[in-house]
Amino acid sequence: MQSREDFHMIKQLRAQGAHIVDIAQRIGCSERTVRRYLALPAPPTGRPKSRRSSKLDPFKPFIDQQLADEVWNAEVIFQQLREQGYAGSSTLVREYIQPKRPLRASKRTVRYETHPGKQLQHDWGEIRTEVAGRLCTVNIAVNVLGYSRHFHVWAGPRQDAEHTYESLVQAFRYFGGVPASVLVDNQKAAVVRHDRDGKVTFNAGFLELANHYGFVAKACRPQRPRTKGKTERMVGYVKHHFFQRYRSFDSYAHLNQLLEHWLNTYAQQRLLRRFRQTPAERFQEEQPQLLPRPETDFDTRYYDVRHVGWDAYIDVHGNRYSVPAECCGQRVTIRVSLDGELTVYDIRGQEVARHRMADRKQGWQTVAEHHEPLWQDVLPVQHRSLAVYEEILQ
């Protein structure tokens, strides 16, 4: 049986909008107990249990005061008690403190609600599944609008910066607009470091993305991922719903196609018990508050520089690709899209070549027109009559 304090805390947390599962985790009881207490008009009364006195009893008020002052280290409290004359063991101290740990202020999980169009929460998850006949780790980026819970999921092979930015580009396209702010965890694709004074240094590429779309970049405090609890919850939702329905995929394109179909026909139509509305219904209120998308999407392709050899080839990821002969000996810029298209730009920024990325086993990738000037520069071969050699032999 829970205490009277637990009863009142359950009532208070529920009035603040906390979910039953969060209340149960904080109090340290089952969800069934939380529902039973919520249905009661007053704390339940029962026969008080007889309890033996303990050496710790005289010191419990001091321990409670330490906990109220956010001192939760049992060993530190034990040493303080010994200085005050406590003769018991440290085990009694730990057993007294342990049930109270869920009540720490830092463990609060009451939902913070945002206004329509104000915030998007981003997070990555991963799951093992079959793609193109091979079991592999699939990374899923989940982007949730804070007000409506309308969300987008995009799958890719990696969680690097380029895939992180592409997941947001896809989400903005899906929503038809951009939120005022984007809250991320501390992945290096977005955050370089947190200073002790609370200042956040964002990745330069992430700031370029933010400037392109006009949103404000925000990051969770270190060691507090529950700050973006909406999207953390949705990562689990995708794993336990979508990936239970679908177990294998022909390609990442096929996987993302099924994800979008599932979002539109199932996930956005689920009933949100707290609001008694679906995400699709709440999104109708939120969508007009989103910022307009720019005319062009942010370029998420990989960027690098290469030096063109005198044979008019460049090396990219272990294979060689042809470029026009006039680029021989020059530096060129390359861009590789996430779906494997290689584009080459000359020193003026003009596109000069385009290839599909290929495995080294497929051989060098050559466009014949690139090398025509090289063949024209080759000296012509002289042709002589064989009679000259016949006279020498005679």
Q: Which of 169, 268, 150 is nearest to 212 (CA)?
A: 169
Judged against a pLDDT cut of 90, whether residue 45 lies above it is answered with no
Q: Which residues neighbour 108 within 8 Å (Cβ) at sequence distance 6 or greater? A: 26
CA nearest to 333, candidates 324, 319, 323, 343: 343
* Domain 119-289 CATH class label: alpha beta
Report whether pLDDT(49) > 80: no
316-368 per-position pLDDT tens digit: 999 999 999 999 999 999 999 998 899 999 989 999 999 999 988 889 999 88
pLDDT digit string (tens) for 235-245? 888 998 899 88
**Residue 138: what pLDDT?**
95
What pLDDT sits at residue 103? 62
**Mean pLDDT across 95-123:** 74
Chain centroid offset of residue 270 CA: 23
218, 183 contact by CB (below 8 A): yes
User: How much is the pLDDT for 286?
Assistant: 94
pLDDT score recorded for residue 107: 46
**Phi-psi bin for 217: left (phi > 0), alpha (psi -120 to 50), beta?**
beta
Pick the more confident residue, 175 or 394. Answer: 175
Domain spans in the chain, listed from the N-terminal domain onward = 4-107, 119-289, 302-376
* 307 vs 226: which has the higher pLDDT: 307
287 falls in which pLDDT band (50, 70, 90)?
A: very high
Which of 141 and 195 is assigned the larger pLDDT?
Answer: 141
pLDDT of residue 109: 46
In CATH terms, 302-376 corresponds, of 2.40.50, 2.30.30, 2.40.10, 2.60.40, to 2.30.30
- Taking residues 244-250, what's their average pLDDT? 90
Whether residue 274 has pLDDT greater than 70: yes
Mean pLDDT of 26-41: 83
Residue 367 burial (CB count, 10 A) = 15
Provide the CA 321 distance to its chain's centre, in angstroms.
34
The whole-angstrom separation of Cα 141 and Cα 321 is: 32
Task: Report the C-alpha gap between 183 and 123 in whole angstroms.
Answer: 9
pLDDT > 90? residue 210: yes
pLDDT in tens, 157-182: 999 999 999 999 999 999 999 999 99
Residue 229 has pLDDT above 60, yes or no: no
What is the DSSP secondary structure assignment for residue 127, as one 8-state letter? E
78 — pLDDT class (breaks 50, 70, 90): confident
CB atoms within 10 A of CB 177: 18
Average pLDDT, the chain: 85
Residue 384, pLDDT > 80, answer: no
For the ranges 62-66, 134-138, 367-371, 390-394, which has the lowest average pLDDT? 390-394
Q: Please check whether residue 268 is in contact with residue 279, taking contact to mean a CB–CB distance below 8 angstroms.
A: yes
Q: Amino acid identity of 192?
A: V
- Give the pLDDT mean for 211-217: 94
Can you give the pLDDT at residue 230? 61
Q: What is the average pLDDT across 302-329?
A: 92
pLDDT band at 102 (very low <50, low <70, confident <90, very high): low
Region 107-114: mean pLDDT is 57
Confidence (pLDDT) at 88? 86
